[in-house]
Chain A
Amino acid sequence: MKQSVYAVAFAAMLVSGVAVAQQQQNAITWGLNSEVETLDPYATSKRTAQLVIRNMLENLVVRDPATGQAKPALATGWRWIDPTILHLELRRGVTFHDGSPFTADDVVFTVDYIKDTANNATFAKADYGFIKKAEKVDDFTVRLLLEQPTPSAVDQLSQVLFIMPKATHQKVGARAFGAQPVGTGPMKVERFEAGRSISMVRNDKYYTAAWGKPRLDRITVLSITDNQTANAEISAGKVDFLWNITPDQLAQLKQARNVETVTGGSVAISFLSLDAAGRAGANPMQDKNVRMAIAHAVNRQAIAKTLRGESSEVIHSPCNPRQFGCIQDVAKYDYNVAKAKEFMAKSSVPRGFELKIAAFTDSGPVAEAIAGDLRQLNIDAKLDFRETSAWIRDLFGGKLTSAVVPWPSNGVYDVVAMVPLFFTGDQGDYTLDPVVMDSFKKAATIVDEQERLKLYKVGFDRLAAEAYVLPLMSGVTHFAYRRGLDFVLPVDGYPILYMAGWK
C-alpha cells in the first residue's frame, strides 16, 4: 500500500497544474469504465452508455439526485386519468439542438419507434414493456396508455424514453443519429469517437429547469477500461470524475490528495442465476439438492464486504430491499459448508461436476470467488469471463447454466423493474416455475399495495424455498472526483453530470 501512496501522491503533485487548468476552463472529464459504441439510446445494450446519452437527450421527467423524486423535465406536469392512462403536459418553447421545436409529435414518434419491432430497440421489453402506446392530445399534451396498472411509471420515465426529434430522425436515419444525436438536453455532442471519447458542449438554449441551468461549458467522456490507468489518470489530474469504481480502487484513491471519494447507495443487486429449468441443456442445477448445496457453500458475506464494499449487504431475495415489493423475509441459507456437503451427498451428482459461471466486467472477481467456494463441494467451477454484449446476448438467449447477474433495475424503486425480466417466463427466466410466474404476473396488474405485497411474498417465498437463484448482495456505488467539484451524490447511484459545476 505504501508504494501506491507515494505513486499517487507524486503524480498528483506533478500535474496538479492540469487540474487547475480544467477548473479554469469550466470543463470536466469523466473517465468512463466502458466503451461507448453508439449514442443511440435504443441501439446500445449498455446502461452506462445511457448515462452518457442523458446529457444530450432528455427524458420526460428527471429524478432529483438528492431526493429520488421525479421532477419536471420535458413534461411539466402529469396526472393519472385511470391506472393505465397517464396524462402529461409538455414544456413549451423547447427546441432541439438543431433548432427544431419540441412538440407532442416527437414523444409519439419516439414511443412508436421503440414499439416498432422492425427497429429492434434494445431493452424494448424490459424498459418499455409497460407502455402500450402514446396518443397526442394537442401539440403540448400527450397520453401514455399502459399495458397494465404501473404505479412506478412516472419514476421509470425518469430513466427511460429518451425523446428524439421526429423530423430529424426520419431524415438522417438511426445510424447517423447514433453518431450525431440531436436532443433537447443541457449538453450537445461536439465530437464522438466510437469506443474512445465523447466531447459535449453546453446547450446555451437550454431552458431553466427545476434544478437550474447547466454550469459547465464542456463535458468530455474518455473510455478508460483499465482500473489502474483510471486511478493514475485521476491522480494525475487528466480525469476529474470516476463512477462505479471497485472497492480496491477506492482504497487506493483515498490516499490521493486532490481526490474526493464517496460511496453511495444503489438499487442494484447481484444474484447467481442457476439454470433450474434446463434451458441450456440438462444440467445439475435442475436438482434442488445441488442448488441448496450451492446456497450454503458460498460465503456471500465475505464476497459482499471484500469485493463490493463495506456497505454492501447480503440479500435473500433477488431484489433490493429498498424496492417496493422486495420481500427479504424468506428462507435464508447461511454459509455452512458441512450442510452444503450434506445436500451434495443427497444430490444426483454427489461426486461433483463441472460448472461454468459466466460473468462480465466487475462481476468477474465475484464469479471467481464463488467458483473458489464451490470447489469445497468438489464442483469443478470455472469463471467464464465474457465481453458485456456477448454476456447479455447469451444470458437472455438461454445459454448460460450459471451466471453472476448484476441488475441495476434502472434505479427504479419497485421490483417491477426486475422481476418480470427474470421470473415471469421471459428471456431471462431460468426458473420457469408456475407458482412464481403466476404470483409475479398477477402482482404487476394490481394497484392495491397490500394485495401486491401478498403476491410478491408468495413468489419470493417460493424462489427461496426452491433455491432457484442464489441472491448475492446489494450494490453500492463508489465515486471518485476532483476536490472542488460541486456534485450531488445521487441516491440511485447514477450520476447526472450536467448538474455539476466547479465551486
Chain B
Amino acid sequence: MTETQVTATDSIGVRPVGLWRRALRHPGFVVGGVLLLFFVLVALGADLLAPHDPYAQSLVRRLRPPVWSANGSWTFILGTDPFGRDYLSRLMHGARIALAVAFASALLAGAIGATLGVLAGYFRGRVDQVISLLISTRLALPALLVALAVLQVAGSGLWIVVLVLGSTLWDRFAVVMRTAVMQVSSLDYVMAARAAGASHGRIMTREVAPNVLGHFLVVFSYEAGQAVLAAAALSFLGLGIQAPQPSWGLMMAEGRSWLLVNPWLIANAGVALMLLVLAMNLVGDGLRDVLTPGERF
C-alpha cells in the first residue's frame, strides 16, 4: 500500500533480520498480518471457540436475528440460519474451510506454476516457447467455466475443489517466476556456476531458487486470496463444497432466499470473506514491497 523507499540493489542477499524489521514498519503488512493471524487462530481453535456445534440443527429455532436486533439474544450472537444452526459457529468453522482451500490450492498452483516458470526462465529457447504457449492457453480458457464444468462431472468435496482451483490458478506463478528466473540466471554468479560445470539441478536449487523465493511468496499470498474468492463463487453456485458444510459461499447462497427478512445472513459471511481476502492481499502487497521492491505483479 505504501511506497517503501528502498532501492533495488539491496534486495538480494539482505539479512532476514533487516527484512523483518522493514516488514514491521510496513503498515499494510502489519494490518494484513494481524488479520490473517486472527483468522488462522479462529480456524485452528474453532472447536474450542465456537459456542455451538456448527451442525446442530433445530427447525424450531430457525432464523433467529443477531444480538443487536430487537429480538436478538446472546445465546446465538449472530443469530441462526434457516435450519436453526448457530451462525457464529458456522462462520468460525467456515474459516477453517476457507483457509484450507486457500492454502492447499495456492500450494498446488504454486507447485505447477513455479515448476513451469523456473523451467521456462532457466532453459529459455524451445522450452520457454512451449511453456509460454501453455500459459497463453491457460489464460485464454475461461477458468471459472472450466472449473464449474469439471466439478459438475467430477462431483463435490473439499479436495476436488482444491484440485480444480490448483490446476487453474497457476498462471501468475508461471509468469512471475519465469521473468524472475530469467533475471537471476543472467547474474554473474549463476553464469559462473554454469561455466564451472555445475549441474542444472544444482544451479536451480542452490543458486536460482533462493533468489526467487520472495517472488513465490508474494504471488502465493495473492493467489491464496484468489482461491478464497473462487471457492466462494463455486459454492455460491452450489458446486464444490456441499451443504450442510459451513462454507461461506454456501451460507451466502442460502441467505439469498432471506434477503428481505434477514439480510445479516448474507452480510456477515460476506464481511468475513472480504476481510480474509483483504488480509491476504495486504500481506501480499507488504511482501512485494519488502521482498521484491520496485517490481510489479
A-to-B contact residues, CB < 8 Å? 1, 3-4, 7-8, 226-228, 231, 246, 248, 252, 299, 302-303, 306-307, 356, 364-365, 368-369, 371-373, 375, 381-385
Q: Is B62 an interface residue (CB 8 A)?
A: yes
Contacts of B244 in A (CB 8 A): 368, 371-372, 375, 381-383
> Is the pair A306, B156 in contact by a Cβ cutoff of 8 Å?
no
Interface contact A382-B243, CB-CB below 8 Å:
yes
Tell me if B85 is interfacial: C-beta within 8 Å of chain A. Answer: yes
Quick check: B257 and A227 within 8 Å, CB to CB? Answer: yes
When C-beta atoms are compared, the residue in chain B nearest to A306 turns out to be B59
Q: Which B-chain residue is minimally distant from A232 (CB atoms)?
A: B260
B83 touches A369 (CB 8 A): yes
Contacts A382-B245, A385-B243 hold; do A369 and B260 have CB atoms under 8 A apart? no
A257 → chain B closest CB, angstroms = 16
- What are 24 contact pairs spanning A and B, CB under 8 A? A3-B261, A4-B261, A7-B260, A226-B256, A228-B256, A228-B259, A248-B82, A248-B258, A252-B260, A302-B59, A306-B62, A356-B242, A364-B243, A368-B244, A369-B57, A369-B59, A372-B55, A372-B57, A372-B83, A373-B57, A381-B244, A382-B156, A382-B244, A383-B244
B82 and A365 within 8 A (CB): yes
Given contacts A248-B258, A373-B57, 15 further A-B contacts (CB under 8 A): A1-B261, A3-B261, A7-B260, A231-B260, A302-B59, A365-B82, A368-B244, A369-B59, A371-B244, A372-B55, A375-B55, A375-B244, A382-B244, A385-B238, A385-B242
By a CB distance below 8 angstroms, the chain A residues around B261 are: 1, 3-4, 252
Q: Are B85 and A372 in contact (CB under 8 A)?
A: yes
Residues in A with CB closer than 8 Å to B245 are: 382
Interface residues of B toward A: which range?
20 to 34
Find residues 161-220 in chain B having any chain A CB closer than 8 Å to their own CB: none
User: Which residues of chain B have a CB within 8 Å of any CB of chain A?
Assistant: 55, 57, 59-60, 62, 82-83, 85, 156, 238, 242-245, 256-261, 263
CB-based nearest A residue for B55: A375
| A364 CB contacts on chain B under 8 angstroms | 243
Q: Is the interface of A mostly helix, strand, loop or mixed?
A: helix
**Nearest B-chain residue to A4, judged by Cβ:** B260
Closest residue of chain B to A7 (Cβ to Cβ) is B260
Assembled-state Cα–Cα distance A381/B244 (Å): 8
| Residues of the B chain whose Cβ atoms lie less than 8 Å from the Cβ of A302 | 59-60
Min CB–CB distance A244 → chain B (angstroms): 15
Q: Which of B83, B256, B260 contacts A368 (CB 8 A)?
A: B83
Q: How far is the CB of A386 from chain B (nearest CB, A)?
A: 9
Q: Which residues of chain A have C-beta atoms less than 8 A from B238's C-beta?
A: 385
Residue of A nearest to B58 (CB): A302
Contacts of B156 on A, CB cut-off 8 Å?
Answer: 382, 384
Contacts of A306 on B, CB cut-off 8 Å? 59-60, 62
Q: Are B257 and A384 in contact (CB under 8 A)?
A: no
Closest residue of B by beta carbon distance from A226: B256
A368–B59 contact, CB under 8 A?
no
> Which chain A residues lie closer than 8 Å to B62 at the CB level?
306
Known: A227-B257, A228-B256, A373-B57. A383 touches B83 (CB 8 A): no
Residues of chain B with a CB closer than 8 A to A299's CB: 59
A384 touching B260 by the CB < 8 A rule? no
Contact B55 A368 (CB under 8 A): no
Contact of B243 among A7, A8, A371 (CB under 8 A): A371
Q: Are A248 and B257 closer than 8 Å at their CB atoms?
A: yes
Q: Which residues of B contact A382 (CB under 8 A)?
A: 156, 242-245
Task: Check if B259 sits within 8 Å of A368, measured CB to CB.
Answer: no
Please list the 4 inter-chain residue pairs (A to B) with the smallest Cβ-Cβ separation, ordered nearest first.
Answer: A372-B57, A4-B260, A383-B243, A382-B242
Check A3–B260 contact: CB distance below 8 A: yes
Point out the residues of chain B lying under 8 angstroms from A3, CB to CB: 260-261, 263
Q: Point out the residues of chain B lying under 8 angstroms from A384, CB to CB.
A: 156, 242
Chain A residues with CB under 8 Å of B243's CB are 364, 368, 371, 382-383, 385
Q: For residue A246, which residues in chain B have a CB less than 8 angstroms away from its CB?
A: 257
- In angstroms, Cα B243 to Cα A226, docked, is 19
Q: Collect the chain B residues with CB atoms within 8 Å of residue A371's CB.
A: 243-244
Q: In the assembly, what is the distance between CA of A231 and CA of B258, in Å?
A: 11
